[in-house]
Chains A and B, each alone.
Chain A
Amino acid sequence: MHAERIVENLNRAHHELFGRDPAVCLIGEDLLDPYGGAFKVSRDLSTRFPERVLSAPISECAFTGMACGMALAGEKPIVEIMFGDFIGYAFDPLWNLAAKSVSMYGRRVPVHLLVRCTVGGNRGFGATHSQSPQKHFLGIPDLELFEVNPFHDNVELLGELIDRGNPVLLFENKTLYSRHRIQDDDLDDLFSWRFIGPRQEFAQIYIEEPESPDAVIIAPGSVVFPALEAARRAFLDHEMETVILTPAQLHPFPLAPILDDLARAKRILVIEEGIAGGSWAESVATAIYSHLWGRLENPVICLHSKTSIIPCARHLEERVLLQSGHVFEALIGESVRA
């Protein structure tokens, strides 16, 4: 029997949260049954909890602002942004209201607000429906960023996020929804995985017990798949041993649990679907340098999608978005030439 699909897991996470905590509510577009949200994450929720599901007009700025007010009233709103590309409209209430409210008044004000937002390309939706906006939210005091991946259970994750007292943005790559969660210890014939860190901050995917891996790839969200493909090829073609580390939390980035892995690695890659220039991967690389300077064998390699808009046609989109081939080339790069 297959594990649950990620969209089903997210949906169950909402149901459990709503069942457990009467302060939890959901606001966003097209949430009502039978539609249940553009990507079906809210399926059956409006039927079970009609009072707590607000299917809003197309007013991202105002309904995100409303969610801030709901949080200040002691509610625990979840906001669904149908496509992350539209979160620009919600930038002000998140940046200047929700995040600021936590600490702007001289004493801590808890803001229980979770904004979920669908991101990413590979679906042929074109330039305004495919972007990865994570980097635009980096480094805002008291705003925390997470990303859904195939390993972490969203039932636990959502429960934790809504109770943090800080506003949280959760990114959901749309290519993940239909994928199955990965639960068995053995990922396939080659890879095994386990959680590491005191709070299971990372999924660690490895071929054999990682002693001193040839490479470590830090790969959040959906880019774990190109990372896996590249790592498999690098092993089969070049006997390279790669460890993949998939964080649930993007920012602030929890570096401590993986410092040992990183210090032993001959090569470190940080990869993402977003584009370079004040990016998430660059911020992680900077953190790695400041902790491991002098112990690194090679410069940290950041891999992004091409600095470009995301075109619609499949053959053009592939040319722009990060592919496993890029990861593979970076993995073998100098080690093969050397």
Chain B
Amino acid sequence: MHILHGSAQRISVVPPVVPIAAPESAEADIEALFLIRGFERLLLDLFSRGVLNGTTHTCLGQEYIPVALSPLFEAPDFIFSNHRGHGHYLARFGDVEGLLLEIMGRAGGVCNGVGGSQHLFRDGFLSTGVLGESVPAAAGMAWSLKRRGGRGIAVAYTGDGGWGEGSVYETLNMASLWRLPLLVVVENNAMAQSSHAEQYRAGTIEDRAHAFGVRALRIGGCDLAEIRNLVGPEIAAMRERPRPLVIEFATQRLGPHSKGDDPRSPELVAELWRRDWEAPLRERHPALCERTAARVGARLEELRATALQKPLSEWTDAR
């Protein structure tokens, strides 16, 4: 586990994984990891069978980030998510049923089938599909949370490509100037759709944050306990003394951008899979992983069967 420091310009190589569920919460952590991964695989499978309509972006490879962070968030916190948001949602709510039914447009979907994969809204959680909108919106939320005097923070999950939008920098400036409790989480998988980071980013995210006097952490590896040890005190400090914080995770996208669009070579993708968290995690906790995988698998299979029986969603307050 290491925090990467400023000189590393390109994080196309993710540091070796040391995947350990936090000892005190191993069961819950492993359950959350497997639930998110199983959910994303189920989605891709349903798409390939033509059962799903529209599009989706899976977080395969990045599941551990929201799983690591979620226990650090408290009730008043508000989370803004992006197009690749299933893991963010599931780590907070565990609600595979509401999410799958949403994406399938069936009764019981969390937004009545209106929002779909990338437009979700539920207590303390909102996602939308236009990049560059969430960071300023989260800053506005942070301003309000601060004004009301609680300990709440606003969190914006972003990809690294989304940092192409100028709104991100305009917001960092304001958030720093006005000391807003804004946490920007950057899931830096060094990819944006089909493009590689070296094609779209000059300099580093960390330096960009520093330019506005915003504190920035860079985290490699996916040891949940260590991530929490590093990040926990930082978030706790933000609650006491409001200010913005950027946390950048060097991570990897294992799946296609959406459903089938991945121009990367199979060899490269295979190499990324060799650095994935799942195999070492299973090695470390064989019995627990097997039990959990079976339980989660059964839950998802049951969901697959029942979801198809559900009636189409109703949008009752449509105009």
Q: CB-CB contacts of A291-335 with B at 8 A, as 1s and 0s?
A: 000000000000000111101111110011000000000000000
A282 contacts chain B at the CB level, 8 A cutoff? no
A210 contacts chain B at the CB level, 8 A cutoff? no
Contact between B129 and A319, CB atoms less than 8 A apart: no
Residue of B109, B118, B161 near A57 (CB, 8 A) is: B161
Distance in Å: Cβ of B216 to nearest Cβ of chain A: 19
Distance in Å: Cβ of A90 to nearest Cβ of chain B: 12
What is the chain B residue whose CB lies nearest that of A37?
B194
Q: CB-CB contacts of B175-210 with A at 8 A, as 1s and 0s?
A: 000000000000000001111000111000000000
A60 to B167, CA, bound (A): 11
Contact between A313 and B319, CB atoms less than 8 A apart: no
A56 to B319, CA, bound (A): 39
Main secondary structure of the interface of A (DSSP, over half): loop
What is the chain A residue whose CB lies nearest that of B315?
A316
Contact between A316 and B118, CB atoms less than 8 A apart: no
Task: List the A side residues contacting B193 at CB < 8 Å.
Answer: 29-30, 35, 38
B85 contacts chain A at the CB level, 8 A cutoff? no
Task: List the B side residues contacting A309 at CB < 8 Å.
Answer: 114
A58 to B191, CA, bound (A): 12
What is the chain A residue whose CB lies nearest that of B196?
A32
Task: List the B side residues contacting A38 at CB < 8 Å.
Answer: 193
Contact between A32 and B318, CB atoms less than 8 A apart: no
Task: List the B side residues contacting A313 at CB < 8 Å.
Answer: 53, 104-105, 109, 113-114, 116, 312-313
Distance in Å: Cβ of B37 to nearest Cβ of chain A: 23
Task: List the A side residues contacting B123 at CB < 8 Å.
Answer: none
Contact between A128 and B105, CB atoms less than 8 A apart: no
Distance in Å: Cβ of B259 to nearest Cβ of chain A: 12
A35 to B194, CA, bound (A): 7
Contact between B114 and A311, CB atoms less than 8 A apart: yes
Contact between A58 and B130, CB atoms less than 8 A apart: no
What is the chain A residue whose CB lies nearest that of B133?
A128
> Which of A6-14, A119-127, A139-147, A219-227 is the interface stretch?
A119-127
Task: List the B side residues contacting A125 at CB < 8 Å.
Answer: 54-55, 116
In this complex, the member of A129, A311, A314 whose beta carbon has the largest number of chain B beta carbons within 10 angstroms is A311
A27 to B119, CA, bound (A): 28
What is the chain B residue whose CB lies nearest that of A82?
B193
Task: List the B side residues contacting A30 at CB < 8 Å.
Answer: 192-195
A30 to B194, CA, bound (A): 6
B162 contacts chain A at the CB level, 8 A cutoff? yes
A249 contacts chain B at the CB level, 8 A cutoff? no
Contact between B115 and A58, CB atoms less than 8 A apart: no
Contact between A129 and B129, CB atoms less than 8 A apart: yes
A319 to B315, CA, bound (A): 11
In this complex, the member of A29, A35, A56, A316 whose beta carbon has the largest number of chain B beta carbons within 10 angstroms is A316
Distance in Å: Cβ of B60 to nearest Cβ of chain A: 19
Task: List the B side residues contacting A153 at CB < 8 Å.
Answer: none
Contact between A59 and B165, CB atoms less than 8 A apart: yes
Task: List the A side residues contacting B318 at CB < 8 Å.
Answer: 308, 311, 316, 319-320
What is the chain A residue whose CB lies nearest that of B54?
A124
Closest 8 CB pairs of A and B: A313-B105, A312-B116, A124-B54, A313-B113, A57-B164, A58-B164, A35-B194, A124-B53
- Given A85-B130, A88-B130, 18 new contacts (CB under 8 A): A29-B193, A29-B195, A30-B193, A57-B161, A58-B165, A58-B192, A58-B200, A62-B166, A127-B114, A128-B118, A311-B115, A312-B53, A312-B119, A313-B105, A313-B109, A315-B313, A316-B105, A316-B313
> Residues on B close to A: CB < 8 A?
53-55, 104-105, 109, 113-119, 128-132, 161-162, 164-166, 192-195, 199-201, 261, 263, 312-313, 315, 318-319
Q: Can you name 30 A-B residue pairings with CB atoms under 8 Å?
A: A29-B195, A30-B194, A34-B263, A35-B261, A55-B199, A55-B200, A58-B131, A61-B165, A62-B166, A88-B130, A89-B132, A124-B116, A125-B116, A126-B115, A127-B114, A127-B115, A128-B118, A128-B119, A128-B129, A129-B55, A308-B318, A308-B319, A311-B113, A311-B318, A312-B105, A312-B116, A312-B117, A312-B119, A313-B116, A319-B318
> Residues on A close to B: CB < 8 A?
29-30, 32, 34-35, 38, 55-62, 85-86, 88-89, 123-129, 306-309, 311-316, 319-320
